[in-house]
């Protein structure tokens, strides 16, 4: 994982101690699900460092943390306001709790921002009017940053949500580092006024997979809009009764490291990003250091999330082929969409590794067969990407609620994707990464979506929920 850079990030003492830290709940070690002693102390230190009222260490990832958070703040059948571009972990929480999803329509990104991202963003005005139209929704959940580093204007969104007496929950899986260099990075959820958030430590920090921080704000606790007792009640419902002490120890270590060195290292990393832009050469373009993707645009982006794309906007980078070429040369990238590579450089990546990255990118691009760089193929990818953007936000007919499809006995059938139009999907269908479902369980396939999914497969985009060109439907 880039976060701990194959363990090189940790001091030798921690690295060698990991097997010894794999203990069970004893009076000396405390209980991560019911922290009362040293674990509680470590979580208190984390809450202080992250600017939260309560932090809990969840050692089975932000997936579990999101399930706990939604169960602690909403009741079965409640309405949740959320953008369509939410991670599958949110979908599964919606299904588990049989919530009613109520969609927030995002705004289109300005061209200068869409160059570095596939995903649209939510505006505060949209949240405001959605809450006015749906007063039953007492909670709003947004993702910030998204996989591409895109962040909505959380400060304005938090104000809009609170004006309506609702709570703002943030999937900050990609942003555990944000609070430690506030002048150089977009505001963290806690700093922006959100009521709660989850952060995957293993994505950007030296934390073992799957370590997550679940944070509740001081204000939400003081005002009683989130009940701490409810949170404590839900942790053992969703988290194993054997949570991992090694993972928790690295969550504790990452907190200490961020406090001591985070800001300096973030500064160093931003300087390396500037250098990378110079070393990449004329054919490749990398996301800039600037936080604001376009003048007057209210959203921000995390400059530490590195996006590589073609130098010419119209000459779409053959990203999947480039990622394959890089992997063949021993350098794996986080993921490739149709026109960009997304990389998560370790906060400890040494200068030599940055130079090597620039060299590899240049040589992978020049080694690629001419067919991969063909301009007609580039045009086709741009058209397909436009369709992908459309289906990321277009809402199919929901014939059956996701909770009903996943948890009530159903007669299921596997059919070729080509014959799925008109059928109700029994599974989420999602390109992975970024893990954002295009079809939720219970939604109906239509012919244009089927055609689009087939084109995505032809372009080697891996899609969960489609197996050997077949999908599961309700018979
Ligand atoms: C936006 C987002 N939320 C939540 C998750 C789930 O996080 P975890 O892997 O820690 O369970 C991911 C994972 O990729 C993600 O990208």
DSSP 303-340: TTSEEEEESSTTS---HHHHHHHHHHTT---SEE-SSE
- Choose which residue among 58, 87, 88, 142 to substitute to test ligand 1 binding: the one with the highest number of ligand atoms within 8 A of its C-beta: 87
- Which pLDDT does position 294 carry in this prediction? 83
Q: How far is the CA of 92 from the centre of ligand 1 (A)?
A: 12
SS3 readout for 454-467: HHHHHCCCCEECCE
Q: Is 40 helix (H, G, I), strand (E, B) or coil?
A: helix
Q: Is the CB of 86 under 6 A from ligand 1?
A: no
Provide mean pLDDT across the span 120-126: 95
Atom of ligand 1 nearest to the CA of 434: 16
Ramachandran angles phi, psi of 125, nearest 5°: -60, -35
Whole-angstrom Cα distance, residue 313 to residue 389? Answer: 16
The rounded percent of the chain whose pLDDT value lies above 70 is 99
Atom of ligand 1 nearest to the CA of 200: 10
Burial class (CB in 10 A: 0-12, 13-18, 19+), 279: middle
* Region of poorest pLDDT, from 58-62, 92-96, 342-346: 342-346
Protein residue with its CA nearest to atom 7 in ligand 1: 62
> Which token pair is 166?
């609702």
- Choose which residue among 173, 178, 203, 344 to substitute to test ligand 1 binding: the one with the highest number of ligand atoms within 8 A of its C-beta: 173
Q: How far is the CA of 334 from the centre of ligand 1 (A)?
A: 13
Provide mean pLDDT across the span 135-142: 97
Provide mean pLDDT across the span 262-290: 89
* pLDDT (tens digit per residue) in 148-164: 999 999 999 999 999 99
- Which pLDDT does position 350 carry in this prediction? 87
- Name all domains of the chain by residue range, CATH numbers in brackets: 12-255 (3.40.640.10), 262-374 (3.90.1150.10), 396-474 (3.90.100.10)
**328 vs 233: which has the higher pLDDT:** 233
Cα–Cα separations (whole angstroms), residue 259 to 186, 197, 248, 254: 18, 19, 17, 9
Q: Is the CB of 410 under 6 A from ligand 1?
A: no
Provide the 8-state DSSP code for 473: E
- Residue 214, pLDDT above cutoff 90: yes
Whole-angstrom Cα distance, residue 189 to residue 275? Answer: 29
Ramachandran angles phi, psi of 469, nearest 5°: 60, 25
Give the CA dihedral 449, 454, 457, 463, nearest 10 degrees.
40
On average, the pLDDT of the chain sits at 93
- Residue 315, pLDDT above cutoff 90: no
- Residue 311, pLDDT above cutoff 80: no
Cα–Cα separations (whole angstroms), residue 407 to 84, 92, 313, 465: 22, 11, 45, 17
Q: Is the CB of 173 under 6 A from ligand 1?
A: yes
Q: For the beta carbon of residue 173, count every other beta carbon within 10 angstroms.
A: 28
Answer yes or no: are the C-beta atoms of 388 and 452 closer than 8 Å. yes
- Residue 314, pLDDT above cutoff 90: no
pLDDT band, very low/low/confident/very high, at 132 (cuts 50, 70, 90): very high
Q: For the beta carbon of residue 233, count every other beta carbon within 10 angstroms.
A: 13
- Residue 370, pLDDT above cutoff 80: no
Provide, for the chain, the percentages of residues in helix, strand and coil under a 3-state DSSP scheme, each rounded to the nearest 5: 40, 15, 40
Find, among 202, 207, 183, the residue nearest to 266 by Cα. 183
- Residue 308, pLDDT above cutoff 80: yes
Taken as a whole, the chain contains a residue count of: 475
Atom of ligand 1 nearest to the CA of 66: 4
DSSP states along 199-262:
EEHHHHSS--TT-EEEEE-HHHHHHTSS-HHHHHHHHHHHS-SS--HHHHHHHHHHHHHIIIII
- Which pLDDT does position 147 carry in this prediction? 95
- Which pLDDT does position 388 carry in this prediction? 93
Provide mean pLDDT across the span 323-342: 89
pLDDT band, very low/low/confident/very high, at 372 (cuts 50, 70, 90): confident
- Which pLDDT does position 313 carry in this prediction? 64
Q: How far does CA 185 lie from the centroid of its chain?
A: 17
Q: Is the CB of 87 under 6 A from ligand 1?
A: yes
Q: Name the pTM for this structure.
A: 0.96
- Choose which residue among 56, 57, 62, 197 to substitute to test ligand 1 binding: the one with the highest number of ligand atoms within 8 A of its C-beta: 62
- Which pLDDT does position 26 carry in this prediction? 85
Protein residue with its CA nearest to atom 9 in ligand 1: 61
Find, among 143, 165, 151, 154, the residue nearest to 193 by Cα. 154
* pLDDT (tens digit per residue) in 416-434: 999 999 999 999 999 988 8
- Choose which residue among 145, 152, 175, 200 to substitute to test ligand 1 binding: the one with the highest number of ligand atoms within 8 A of its C-beta: 200
Please give the angle made by the CA atoms of 310, 316 and 319, to the nearest 5 degrees. Answer: 80
Q: Is the CB of 200 under 6 A from ligand 1?
A: yes
* pLDDT (tens digit per residue) in 160-194: 999 999 999 999 999 999 999 999 999 999 999 99
Protein residue with its CA nearest to atom 12 in ligand 1: 173
- Choose which residue among 57, 61, 67, 239 to substitute to test ligand 1 binding: the one with the highest number of ligand atoms within 8 A of its C-beta: 61
Find, among 305, 181, 204, 196, the residue nearest to 250 by Cα. 204
- Residue 330, pLDDT above cutoff 80: yes
Q: Is the CB of 269 under 6 A from ligand 1?
A: no
């Amino acid at each position: 994982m880039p976060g701990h850079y194959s363990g090189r990030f940790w001091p030798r003492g921690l690295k060698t101690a990991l097997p010894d830290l794999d203990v069970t709940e004893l009076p000396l070690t405390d209980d991560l699900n019911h922290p009362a002693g040293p674990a509680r102390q470590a979580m208190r230190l984390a809450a202080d460092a992250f600017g939260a009222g309560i932090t809990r260490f969840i050692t089975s990832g932000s997936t579990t943390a999101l399930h706990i958070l939604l169960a602690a703040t909403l009741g079965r059948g409640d309405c949740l306001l959320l953008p369509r571009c939410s991670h599958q972990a949110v979908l599964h929480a919606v299904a588990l709790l049989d919530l009613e999803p109520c969609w927030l329509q995002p705004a289109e990104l300005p061209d200068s921002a869409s160059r570095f991202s596939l995903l649209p963003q939510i505006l505060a005005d949209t949240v405001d009017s959605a809450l006015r139209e749906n007063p039953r929704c007492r909670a709003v959940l947004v993702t910030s940053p998204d996989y591409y580093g895109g962040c909505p204007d959380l400060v304005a969104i938090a104000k809009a949500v609170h004006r309506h007496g609702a709570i703002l929950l943030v999937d900050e899986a990609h942003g555990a580092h944000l609070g430690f260099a506030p002048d150089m990075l977009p505001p963290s959820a806690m700093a922006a006024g959100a009521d709660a958030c989850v952060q995957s430590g293993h994505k950007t920090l030296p934390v073992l997979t799957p370590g997550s921080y679940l944070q509740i704000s001081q204000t939400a606790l003081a005002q009683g809009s989130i009940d701490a007792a409810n949170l404590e009640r839900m942790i053992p419902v969703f988290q194993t009764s054997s949570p991992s002490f090694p993972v928790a120890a690295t969550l504790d270590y990452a907190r200490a490291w961020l406090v001591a060195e985070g800001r300096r290292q973030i500064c160093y990393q931003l300087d390396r990003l500037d250098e990378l832009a110079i070393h990449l050469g004329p054919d490749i373009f990398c996301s800039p250091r600037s936080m604001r993707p376009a003048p007057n645009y209210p959203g921000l982006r995390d400059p530490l999330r590195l996006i590589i794309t073609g130098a010419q906007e119209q000459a779409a980078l053959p990203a999947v082929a480039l990622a394959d070429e890089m992997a063949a040369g021993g350098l794996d990238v986080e993921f490739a969409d149709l026109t960009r590579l997304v990389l998560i450089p370790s906060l400890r990546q040494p200068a030599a590794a940055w130079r090597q990255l620039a060299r590899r990118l240049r040589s992978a691009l020049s080694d690629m067969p001419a067919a991969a760089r063909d301009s007609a193929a580039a045009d086709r990818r741009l058209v397909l990407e436009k369709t992908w953007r459309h289906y990321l936000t277009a809402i199919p007919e929901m014939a059956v609620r996701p909770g009903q499809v996943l948890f009530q006995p159903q007669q299921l059938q596997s059919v070729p994707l080509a014959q799925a139009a008109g059928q109700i999907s029994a599974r989420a269908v999602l390109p992975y990464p970024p893990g954002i479902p295009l079809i939720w369980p219970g939604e109906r396939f239509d012919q244009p979506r089927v055609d689009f999914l087939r084109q995505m497969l032809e372009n080697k985009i891996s899609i969960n929920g489609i197996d050997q060109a077949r999908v599961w439907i309700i018979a």
